[in-house]
Structure formats: structure tokens, C-alpha cells
Chains A and B, each alone.
Chain A
Amino acid sequence: MGQWPGLVTTDDTLPATLTERIALPIPGPALSARIEPNVTAPELIRNFCIIAHIDHGKSTLADRMLQLTGVVEPRAMRAQYLDRMDIERERGITIKSQAVRMPWQLGDQAHALNMIDTPGHVDFTYEVSRSLAACEGAVLLVDAAQGIEAQTLANLYLAMENDLEIIPVLNKIDLPAAQPEKYAEELANLVGGDPDDVLKVSGKTGAGVEALLDRIVERIPAPVGDADAPARAMIFDSVYDTYRGVVTYVRVIDGSLSPRERIVMMSTRATHELLEIGVISPDPIVTKGLGVGEVGYLITGVKDVRQSKVGDTVTNAGKPATESLGGYSEPKPMVFSGLYPVDGSDYPALRDALDKLKLNDAALNYEPETSVALGFGFRVGFLGLLHLEIVRERLEREFDLDLISTAPNVVYDVTLDDGTEVKVTNPSEFPGGKIKEVREPVVRATILAPSEFVGTVMGLCNDRRGQMDGMDYLSEDRVELRFTLPLAEIVFDFFDQLKSRTRGYASLDYEPQGDQAADLVKVDILLQGDQVDAFSAIVHREKAYDYGVMMTAKLKEIIPRQQFEVPIQAAVGARVIARETVRAMRKDVLAKCYGGDISRKRKLLEKQKEGKKRMKNIGSVEVPKDAFIAALSSDSGGGKDAKDKKK
């Protein structure tokens, strides 16, 4: 099965005539019968995933595999078939993973290849880990013009920890800027082996993809399991579908699952009837069941993804397994932000929208909260900044809501002198009084950067209370730096700073690494003595002054002059650490008002009164809502950070 002789196309889809003319190693009817779902011997199954950085061409490569294995007709090909939601297509990232079954013949044997699509972002590490746990091997896909990125590296380590067979592949070799030799060397250094072993493909043209499929069959071990044991299947994804309810994706480890039987979710002991079971290829195909090593989907009629949790073990109610597969954990929100409708009357619409999103997002949680400054809204917990940005964008786009989001913050565990413990998800609720200890979450961050920026990166991490854990050269000019950093520091415009100080060359990945005690204080912002809850922040004691000066200066710029002087203060407890003053407005009158001015003057007045409705009152100070949005959106780190990450 060779390469595509002389085939170069810039089109996203392959010319139909070519795929039809060239004999592809797709099994014929006789061989195919041996790889029917439910009856496929585990030896003939290969379960793999693709680990890649955003934009390194994972989806395009997946598309090409679907085409070459005959699963999707070229004419029906929609670019990036696997990315379902519009928003995913637009951002070029994959939020929800799915699994596709593809036939492939090597020698005289047909095989069933299950490609499990993994999310590619730092916020979804847990989902990635479950996807990896469903596989025996992983394709490590790296852009031949860019080399490996921090996030890919982190997922690669995760795959290695899971003992997966790694197949290193360089993609986009058709690009003029590609440096396959250089990066093959880098990959070989990382995964071991010879640089010549690194496959070189182009998802765009299809070059090298057949060889990759062969390599998958050759190198990736077949799944092993006990066919006679009680059924155990791991949930690696669960998706809400408007028509079908929750569709649960599983990998069977032991035993088998069949339609109409009752199943048990081992973490909750909840039982459901299996209404439908099948595989995706790439549309759902109903089957008579799923056996050892197989990957497919279940439908039980439940309506909320929380009833079908990623990482949970599914077993048979009649003949239940005694031990779950392990590795399950509840999704834990790491970053919190207040979401408020710009127009207060949209509050019920926001609540309904969150309720709907929650059906498909097990990690999303929220509670109503009230802000003096912003009115009624919700405190929402997210896996990370990108998760926050995606949710916010879906709320605005799919539900047509205008939202204000407060600066993202992390969760603090506060222990008071009397031993009471308080979990703080909203800075304005940080307890006053005697505090014994405050603990904040920390992460293990991996930063890849050209070696010339090592000093810069170290400086930034040092400013952000980072501790260096180690440093390695990936190649002559690329360095991997590892730090332990407070998550709060990352949440606050870290990525923007990293990007701008390294001219966009550095990449970042991080994963939770427990917590640490820290000398943290709450800085409140007061307008004319009244606390503005939306601007409270928890910062390290040494940074409190800087934050206070920055915030008061910013507010001074955006708060219009009132009829009286408005002091803007930053305070830690009762101690004022920074102060600005918006001077009183001394003149608000049109000097001239004669016959020809009256209509204009009245209309101006009517307009001003209309404008007043867009004001929020903080005590007696009128602040335009736009000013709040301006103060909260810039430097908050959330939006920009996540948006840049797709680049």
C-alpha cells in the first residue's frame, strides 16, 4: 500500500475519481464479516487516539482516515467530520471526543480500528486521561513546521504514564516551512527510537496516511480482557442529544454488553435499561452488543450527562462486577466567574440557558448570586479559562444573551482562628476577622520556549510566585521549563504576558497539583465608602498595593464626574492602601438657550434621561454599565487568554 504517487492537491477533499480508481486496502465482504461489532476477536481490534496541539491538523488527518478506510464517501465529506458543533469548527478545536470505527486490511487480515478523538486543551485534562485509558496506543501528531507544543508534551507524558504505544508522526509535510528532519529528531528524543521511524504525512493531501494506518495495526497492541468475567466498560465521554437523550461512549474491558439488559453505573449504583447499543462509523450503527476491547455507544434514555459520568464503570445489573475500573473522579471546577446579564430582565433567560448547557456539560456548575453592582446573576465554576470562554460564548451565541463576566478567580480554602473552614469561590465573600490560614490551588506548569527566552520566562514565573521544578533542552534551541505556580496567577493574564514577552513563541500547559498555604489578602474597592463587590480581589499581600493602585486608577478613568467628589479607595480590611478621586463636576449647563436652541436642548435632555437608564447606582454614585464592562473585561485574563490559545 503505497504512497499516493504524485498526488498533490490543495483541495480539502480528495478527488473522488482517484479514490475510486486506486485500490485501497479496505476489506472485502468475506473478511469484513470477521470484524462485525460484537463478534470481533480482540486480536483484530486496535484502539488509538491522536494527541496533537490545536491547529496541528488532527481533525484533517482524522477526516483523511475516514475517507481512506471507506467509512465516508469523498462526496459526502464535510471537512473535519468529527467536530460536531459550529463553535468547535470555528475555533478549530474539539471540545467533545467521539469514537469512530474503521475497517483496515493489512496482509490478508481485516482489522477494526477505533479512533478515539481526544479534546486538545489544558482545561479538559481529565477527559483526555479517560480517553487515553480507553486506548492501547496513541498517534503523536506534530506540525512539521512548528514542532511539539507544551500541551502536546503534557498529553504525551499522560499517554506514556498510561503505558500507551506511541507512534510519532509529523504532519503538514507539504508546507514550504516544514522542517521534518529537525522535528523528527526532536520527537525521537522524546519518545525514544530512531528519527527515521517518525512517519511523515500530510492530512491535507493524504500523503503517508495509508502507511500510518498500517503502522497502527502493526505497532499498537490488541486489547486484552476477560470475556467471561462480569461486564466492565469505562465511560470516556457522554453527550446530550436533543432527540436521543444522553449518548454514552464506552470502552468494554471485560465481558460484554447487550441491548435490553439492565446496567449499573458503579459510582452512583443507578440502574438503567440499555435501550440501544452500537458503534459509530461515523454514523451510529445499532449492534447486538459490544464485546471485550470494543468501543461504542449506549443509550439509556437519561436526559442529563451527570447521570452518565465520564470515568465511571458500567456493569451488568444481573451479574455485576465487584470492582470498578478505577481512575474515576468528579469534575472539579478550578476557576470561578460571576456571569450577569447586561439587561437585568434577562436573568430568567440566563438561568434557562445554563440549565440547558448543563445537560451536556458535566463540569459546569453554578449558583445564583447577587451583586450590589451588577444585580442578579450566577457564580459559575469552570474547568479553566477556555471552558469559561466557551460557555460564555455559547450563552451569547446560542441563547442571544449579553453578559458581563467578572474577573475569573480560583477557589480558596480559608481556615479561621476558631477552626471554622470556609470555601471561597467569590472574592467578595472572603471572610474578614481572624484568619489562621488560606490555601490556594497550585498547578504544575510546563512551558516550551525557544532557548533565547529562558530568562524572560523565568522572570515572569518568578514575578508570579512560581517555583522552578526543572528544565530540559528538547533540541538545541528549544527548552522545556517546569514550574509550580499558583493557579490564581495563571488566571490573571499570565498567558497574555507569556505570549507577548516571547513574541508568541512560548506555549503553556498546566495541570492541578494540589494546593499551598499563602499569605493572601482581600483587596476591596470602595466608591465613596461603599464596597463594589464586583471589583474585590484576593491577591498576595505583596501584590495588594499594585492591584489597588491599578484598579483605582482604572476606575478613575471610567467613572464620570458626579455633582460631588467621589473618592475611589482600595482597602485591605479597614486599611486604605490606594486612593484616587473623581473630582466633582462643577459645570453642567448649556450657557446659551434662546429661541433657536430650545428644540435641540429638549432633545438633548430627553437623550440624557434615556442614558440615565443605562446607569447603575453604587450608593449615590452613578456608573454607566459600559464602564463596568470595560473595567471587568480588560486585564481580567479570561477572554483574551483563551482566544489566543487556539492560535
Chain B
Amino acid sequence: MPALPEGTAVPDDGTLPFARVGSVALRQAQEPRPFGVYVHVPFCSVRCGYCDFNTYTASELGGGANQAAYATTALREVDLAARVLDDAGLGSRPVSTVFFGGGTPTMLPAADLARILRGVDDAWGLAPGGEVTTEANPDSVTPESLRVLADAGFTRVSFGMQSAVPHVLATLERTHDPRRVPDAVAWARDAGLDVSLDLIYGTPGESLDDWRASLEAVLATGVDHVSAYALVVEPGTKMHAQVRRGELALPDEDDQAAKYELADELLTEAGLGWYEVSNWARGPEHACRHNLAYWRGDDWWGIGPGAHSYVAAPSAEPVEAAHADPAGVRWWNVKHPRRYATLLESGSSPGAGRELLTPAEAQLERVLLGVRVREGLEVDALDRSRRAAVAGLVARGLLDGVAAVRGRVVLTRQGRLLADAVVRELTP
């Protein structure tokens, strides 16, 4: 995981930076904003060469950071979260989505994952029809473990498949056997779980045919959701060092663009439509609602070392003194599991830093996240000075003309490949 952002200190008790005076009752009377919970599980059996996530391969990191004690430690943060949100008058919202990510969450026994989920349910209550996802390595699941998860309330599993081609997996240092993926998918579906497969394209040495083979392998499993990401060589990873030493070629952006286009073509033909720049689903009911919540700017609490959380200002209503509130607050936990556990054991917030978003920053995020999804963004949500840019972007084929006429900013395929450039033009 990249270095944590720079921010200001988080108060010891984790208090949110919103005015309280006379506001709690009012807030509770309003329609609650959707609320999600992310649980980071910082363990893997091996670290892959391209990975920059906050993850550790040792099972003994000490004390509450040991894999065996991790569920207990994470539940301490759930308790803290419940208290902090309650204090801010935001406590009575059921959880719409829960997402276990990593690392490899399935490194933990299924029973531990179930226990954490139960803690979340105890704290806020899972909304009816709520989505509960876990990421998993095809190697780290069995028919039995998947059934335990389904029984505990998990509804969805996302497998890190990355590629179906052995030499590509070897470059990525993935250890699973690609032949195991269809089995894992079948077991998960038998257990009643919705299944997603993750792919990476643009790995050094991957040909367009290799990529096509991976896409075809994914489609052959009949999954209802696919995520496909261009490989990014992040500083600090082993792969970055390999590139620097000239052992691996830097991924070529033109090659990645061609592969994106191929993916979008094949997936769309097979009935999986895009709903976010890197995500495709067989209809809206199979989209990942947890991830959509990030792009829509909903609230979420991130449990675990290095996890980020975000809470928007509770109300736009004229609550007294609320005009001094920031537009939202984002904070992030300390990175190392050991430090994370120690803080929670002493009753402190594990927050390492936070940023209070100004209205302008919140607006910028709204645009940069909003254009990534298929539903897009209202033209009226853009800064007044930038609305005129829409016509030019339509003319250049980056925005969908029909959507624009209807007052929405929606990327075309070419626009998705240049989404960051589009955002730069749409923000002041």
C-alpha cells in the first residue's frame, strides 16, 4: 500500500469533526445516508511482486496482531466505531454493505470472518438485502469454507484470478493454479454466493492473445461480475525494482488501452455491461454495491490497519453552527497491525491522520468519482464555469452525446480510457 496521505491528527477518542449542538435529534429525523463497512485483513501467504497493499505474510506479528487474535482486535474497532458514530448522531443507520478485503481475508478461518460480521451486525444491524462480500484467493477456499461463509451471511465472493495464462501468473508471482478457478467459482455458486473474478492486464510479457485467453476463461465460468485492472507498477514493490533493473519492461500504455478495448468488447458481447471504468456486471443487480458507495460518496467505516474511512457532513440543513463544519472527513488508520492492535487495546482510536474536506475538495471528489460510473453525474453538479466543456468533450467522442442532452455526464469507451483527462477539463 502506498504511503498514507498527509493529514492532521485524529483525536484519541476518534471524535468526528462535526458540530453537535442541538443537532443529534434533527439528524436522526432525516433520511439516513447509506452506510458501509470495510474490513481490512492484512494477511497473505506470499506477497506478489506487483502488490503494494498493506499486507503481511507472517502469521505471528505479536499480540493482537497475530492472525489468531485478529478478529478480536478488529471487533474492538467496531465497538469504537459504534460509539463515535453514536456520539455524532449518526449511529442509527443499518449497514447496507460490508466488504472484506486484503490481503487475503480467507487466510483467516471462515469462522473468524463470520465472527467479525456478527459484530458488525450487533453494532448497527445489517440492512435487509444487505451485500456482504469477501475477497478470496482461489487457493484459499474449499467448498466447506465457502458454505460456512454463506451460512454466516456472506452474499458475495470476489476471487483474485488475475490471469488464466501461466507465464503471466508467474510474472505476477501468483501461486494459484489457474485450473482451480472454475472449481472455486462452482463451489461458491453452489454455496449460493454471487461471484466476481478479478483480472489484471498489461503485465510485461502478456500478449493480446494471452489477454483474450484470460477473458475467455472468465466468460467460460459464467460469472456475473468481472473487474479488470491495468497493471500499475507502484514504487516500493518488487516489480518496481525489477523494472528499474531492466529485468521487466514497463507496461505499455497503448498496449493496455488495446486490452481495455478488447475486454470491454468481449464482456459486453457476453452480456456483462460496464458500470464503472474497471467493472462489468450482468445487470445492475450484480454490481458491487459496496464499491458503488465509494464512487457515490456515501459514508463508510474502514476497520483494520491502514484502512480509510469517510463520513460526509451529517446535514446540509441549517443546523446551528453547522456552517462551520467541513464538507466531510476522511481518516486512515495506522499501517502496522501491531501498532493498530496496541492502540485499540489501550482504548484509543487507531486513526493515524485525517483530512477535513473543504466544499471545493468535496466537489472535486464528487466529479472525479462520479464520472467513473455508468450512471454518471448530472451536468448541473459541475461547477458552473465548466459546464460549457461538456459539448467539446462530446464532440471529441469522450462523453456520450445522448446522455449529455439528457443532462448527464457519461463517459464513452474512449472517454473511460481518458477519464482523468476528462475530469481535469470538468473541474475548475
Q: Is the CB of A586 within 8 A of B229?
A: no
Q: Is the CB of B368 within 8 A of A563?
A: no
| Nearest B-chain residue to A590, judged by Cβ | B420
Residue with the highest number of chain B CB atoms closer than 10 Å, among A583, A599, A608, A609: A599
Q: Is the CB of B232 within 8 A of A587?
A: no
Q: Is the CB of A591 within 8 A of B278?
A: yes
Q: How far is the CB of B362 from chain A (nearest CB, A)?
A: 10
287-320 of chain B: CB within 8 A of chain A? 291, 294-295, 300, 302, 306-310
Q: Is the CB of B294 within 8 A of A595?
A: yes
The docked-state distance in angstroms from the alpha carbon of A586 to that of B424 is: 16
Q: How far is the CB of A495 from chain B (nearest CB, A)?
A: 37
Q: Is the CB of A605 within 8 A of B330?
A: no
| Chain B 97-126 interface mask (CB, 8 Å, partner A; 1/0) | 000000000000000000000000000000
Given contacts A599-B5, A605-B427, A609-B424, contact A588 B418 (CB under 8 A): yes
Q: Is the CB of B302 within 8 A of A596?
A: yes
Contacts of A592 in B (CB 8 A): 229, 232, 278
Q: How far is the CB of B8 from chain A (nearest CB, A)?
A: 13
The docked-state distance in angstroms from the alpha carbon of A600 to that of B234 is: 13
The docked-state distance in angstroms from the alpha carbon of A593 to that of B291 is: 9
Contacts of B396 in A (CB 8 A): 563-564
Q: How far is the CB of B107 from chain A (nearest CB, A)?
A: 19
Q: Is the CB of B418 within 8 A of A585?
A: yes
B253 in complex: contacting residue of A563, A587, A599, A602, CB < 8 Å: A587
Q: Is the CB of B232 within 8 A of A596?
A: no
Whether, in the assembled complex, B275 has its beta carbon less than 8 Å from a beta carbon of chain A, the answer is: no
Q: Is the CB of B418 within 8 A of A598?
A: no
Residue with the highest number of chain B CB atoms closer than 10 Å, among A591, A593, A595, A605: A595
Query: Number of contacting residues on A, CB 8 A?
Result: 26
Q: How far is the CB of A480 from chain B (nearest CB, A)?
A: 51
Whether, in the assembled complex, A594 has its beta carbon less than 8 Å from a beta carbon of chain B, the answer is: yes
Q: Is the CB of A598 within 8 A of B424?
A: no
Q: Is the CB of A586 within 8 A of B307?
A: no
Whether, in the assembled complex, A647 has its beta carbon less than 8 Å from a beta carbon of chain B, the answer is: no
Q: Is the CB of A586 within 8 A of B364?
A: no
580-619 of chain A: CB within 8 A of chain B? 583, 585-596, 598-603, 605-606, 608-609, 612
The docked-state distance in angstroms from the alpha carbon of A606 to that of B257 is: 24
Q: Is the CB of B278 within 8 A of A595?
A: no
Whether, in the assembled complex, B243 has its beta carbon less than 8 Å from a beta carbon of chain A, the answer is: no
The docked-state distance in angstroms from the alpha carbon of A594 to that of B302 is: 12
Given contacts A589-B277, A591-B232, A593-B372, contact A605 B420 (CB under 8 A): yes
The docked-state distance in angstroms from the alpha carbon of A382 to that of B302 is: 66
The docked-state distance in angstroms from the alpha carbon of A603 to that of B398 is: 23
Q: How far is the CB of A571 from chain B (nearest CB, A)?
A: 27
Q: Is the CB of A593 within 8 A of B38?
A: no
Q: Is the CB of A599 within 8 A of B355?
A: yes
Contacts of A563 in B (CB 8 A): 396, 398, 418, 421
Q: Is the CB of A600 within 8 A of B2?
A: yes
Whether, in the assembled complex, B170 has its beta carbon less than 8 Å from a beta carbon of chain A, the answer is: no
Contacts of B277 in A (CB 8 A): 589, 591, 593
B330 in complex: contacting residue of A583, A585, A598, CB < 8 Å: A598
Q: How far is the CB of B221 from chain A (nearest CB, A)?
A: 22
Given contacts A596-B306, A599-B308, A612-B424, contact A587 B230 (CB under 8 A): yes
Q: Is the CB of A598 within 8 A of B308?
A: yes
Q: How far is the CB of B5 from chain A (nearest CB, A)?
A: 4
| Nearest B-chain residue to A598, judged by Cβ | B365
411-428 of chain B: CB within 8 A of chain A? 416-421, 423-424, 427
Q: Is the CB of B229 within 8 A of A599?
A: no
Contacts of A598 in B (CB 8 A): 294, 308, 310, 330, 365, 369
Q: Is the CB of A602 within 8 A of B294?
A: no
Contacts of B330 in A (CB 8 A): 598-599
Q: How far is the CB of A562 from chain B (nearest CB, A)?
A: 9
Contacts of B291 in A (CB 8 A): 594
Whether, in the assembled complex, B256 has its beta carbon less than 8 Å from a beta carbon of chain A, the answer is: yes
| Nearest A-chain residue to B330, judged by Cβ | A599
Q: How far is the CB of B359 from chain A (nearest CB, A)?
A: 13
Contacts of A608 in B (CB 8 A): 420, 424
Whether, in the assembled complex, B260 has its beta carbon less than 8 Å from a beta carbon of chain A, the answer is: yes
B420 in complex: contacting residue of A564, A588, A606, CB < 8 Å: A588
Whether, in the assembled complex, B380 has its beta carbon less than 8 Å from a beta carbon of chain A, the answer is: no
Contacts of B38 in A (CB 8 A): 595
Whether, in the assembled complex, B31 has its beta carbon less than 8 Å from a beta carbon of chain A, the answer is: no
Whether, in the assembled complex, B127 has its beta carbon less than 8 Å from a beta carbon of chain A, the answer is: no
| Chain B 229-246 interface mask (CB, 8 Å, partner A; 1/0) | 110100000000000000
The docked-state distance in angstroms from the alpha carbon of A609 to that of B421 is: 10
Whether, in the assembled complex, B247 has its beta carbon less than 8 Å from a beta carbon of chain A, the answer is: no
Q: How far is the CB of A620 from chain B (nearest CB, A)?
A: 10
Q: How far is the CB of B357 from chain A (nearest CB, A)?
A: 9
The docked-state distance in angstroms from the alpha carbon of A221 to that of B253 is: 79
| Nearest A-chain residue to B309, judged by Cβ | A595
352-375 of chain B: CB within 8 A of chain A? 355, 361, 364-365, 368-369, 372
Given contacts A586-B254, A605-B420, contact A596 B1 (CB under 8 A): yes
Q: How far is the CB of B299 from chain A (nearest CB, A)?
A: 11
Contacts of B1 in A (CB 8 A): 596
The docked-state distance in angstroms from the alpha carbon of A583 to that of B253 is: 12
The docked-state distance in angstroms from the alpha carbon of A588 to that of B2 is: 20
The docked-state distance in angstroms from the alpha carbon of A591 to that of B372 is: 10
Contacts of B300 in A (CB 8 A): 595
Contacts of B295 in A (CB 8 A): 593
| Nearest A-chain residue to B396, judged by Cβ | A563
554-588 of chain A: CB within 8 A of chain B? 563-564, 583, 585-588
Contacts of A588 in B (CB 8 A): 417-421
| Chain B 1-43 interface mask (CB, 8 Å, partner A; 1/0) | 1100100000000000000000000000000000000100000
B364 in complex: contacting residue of A589, A600, A606, CB < 8 Å: A606
Given contacts A563-B418, A595-B308, contact A602 B365 (CB under 8 A): yes
B369 in complex: contacting residue of A583, A591, A593, CB < 8 Å: A593
Q: Is the CB of A605 within 8 A of B364?
A: yes
| Chain B 384-428 interface mask (CB, 8 Å, partner A; 1/0) | 000000000000101000000000000000001111110110010
Q: Is the CB of B365 within 8 A of A587?
A: no
Q: How far is the CB of A102 from chain B (nearest CB, A)?
A: 65
Whether, in the assembled complex, B332 has its beta carbon less than 8 Å from a beta carbon of chain A, the answer is: yes
Contacts of B294 in A (CB 8 A): 593-595, 598
The docked-state distance in angstroms from the alpha carbon of A633 to that of B398 is: 37
Q: How far is the CB of B46 from chain A (nearest CB, A)?
A: 21
The docked-state distance in angstroms from the alpha carbon of A609 to that of B254 is: 23
Q: Is the CB of B361 within 8 A of A602?
A: yes
Q: How far is the CB of B304 from chain A (nearest CB, A)?
A: 11
Contacts of B355 in A (CB 8 A): 599
The docked-state distance in angstroms from the alpha carbon of A176 to that of B114 is: 87
The docked-state distance in angstroms from the alpha carbon of A586 to that of B413 is: 11
| Nearest B-chain residue to A583, judged by Cβ | B254
Contacts of A591 in B (CB 8 A): 228-230, 232, 277-278
Contacts of A602 in B (CB 8 A): 361, 364-365, 368
Q: How far is the CB of B425 from chain A (nearest CB, A)?
A: 10
The docked-state distance in angstroms from the alpha carbon of A598 to that of B421 is: 16
Q: Is the CB of A605 within 8 A of B278?
A: no
| Chain B 252-284 interface mask (CB, 8 Å, partner A; 1/0) | 011011101000000000000000011000000
The docked-state distance in angstroms from the alpha carbon of A592 to that of B52 is: 13
The docked-state distance in angstroms from the alpha carbon of A601 to that of B308 is: 14
> What would 14 A/B residue contacts be, using CB atoms closer than 8 Å?
A563-B418, A583-B254, A588-B419, A589-B420, A591-B230, A591-B277, A595-B302, A595-B308, A596-B302, A596-B306, A598-B310, A600-B2, A602-B361, A605-B424
**Measuring CB to CB, which residues of chain A are less than 8 angstroms from any residue of chain B?**
563-564, 583, 585-596, 598-603, 605-606, 608-609, 612
Shortest 3 CB-CB distances between A and B: which pairs?
A586-B257, A589-B419, A591-B229
Q: List 13 additional A-B contacts (Cβ < 8 Å) besides A563-B398, A587-B418, A596-B306.
A: A563-B396, A563-B421, A586-B417, A587-B253, A587-B254, A589-B419, A589-B420, A594-B294, A595-B309, A596-B1, A598-B330, A598-B369, A605-B368
